[in-house]
A = this chain, B = another copy of it.
Amino acid sequence: MIDETPERLRSLHSRLLGLAAMHSDRVVNEALAGAGARKWHYAVLATLAEFGAASQAQLSDRTGIYRSDIVAVVNELAAAGQVERSPNPGDRRQNIITITTTGRRQLSRLDRLLRAAQDEVLEPLTRPERDELGRLLRKLVSGRSA
């Protein structure tokens, strides 16, 4: 099993990051697809569960999803009965998004699926290595992440 990848590419941190992220994303998306969700749905549900009801603009800030893309996500979650979208009487520009009981149930299902996916991706690493990887990545993106 010879490695046919040229040296210049093999030693490129940006390439390694891309490959690792792609693989991780694939595993995660496949897992979430088992519950009819994508990572955006998880991000919104988790944010609602932890911070409580919020406007779409707040959801955008907290998840890093663009506010134009939040629309479709909330549409889909609402269609599945996992959130409710109601106008804010105090500020009629805003919608208030609330997580429902169905949404909480879905969230714990996604939590479970995600944990398994995470374990699958990190399987080649020992516990301390996983922690170290997390630390390094956090350091790498600290400041500019959302």
Residues of A within 8 A of B (CB): 4-9, 11-25, 27-28, 39, 43, 46-47, 49-51, 61-64, 111, 114, 117-118, 121-122, 124-125, 129-130, 132-134, 136-142, 144-146
* A146 neighbours in B (Cβ, 8 Å): 5, 19
Minimal Cβ-Cβ distance residue in B for A29: B14
A5 and B62 contacting across the interface, CB-CB below 8 Å: yes
Shortest beta-carbon distance from A41 to chain B in Å: 12
A9 and B140 contacting across the interface, CB-CB below 8 Å: no
Selected contact of A8 from candidates B16, B46, B121, CB within 8 Å: B46
Known A-B contacts A4-B61, A23-B141; A130 and B13 likewise in contact (beta carbons under 8 Å) = yes
* A118 neighbours in B (Cβ, 8 Å): 12-14
Known A-B contacts A8-B46, A145-B19, A146-B5; A140 and B111 likewise in contact (beta carbons under 8 Å) = no
Q: How far is the CA of A132 from the CA of B43 in the complex (A)?
A: 29
Q: How far is the CA of A125 from the CA of B22 in the complex (A)?
A: 22
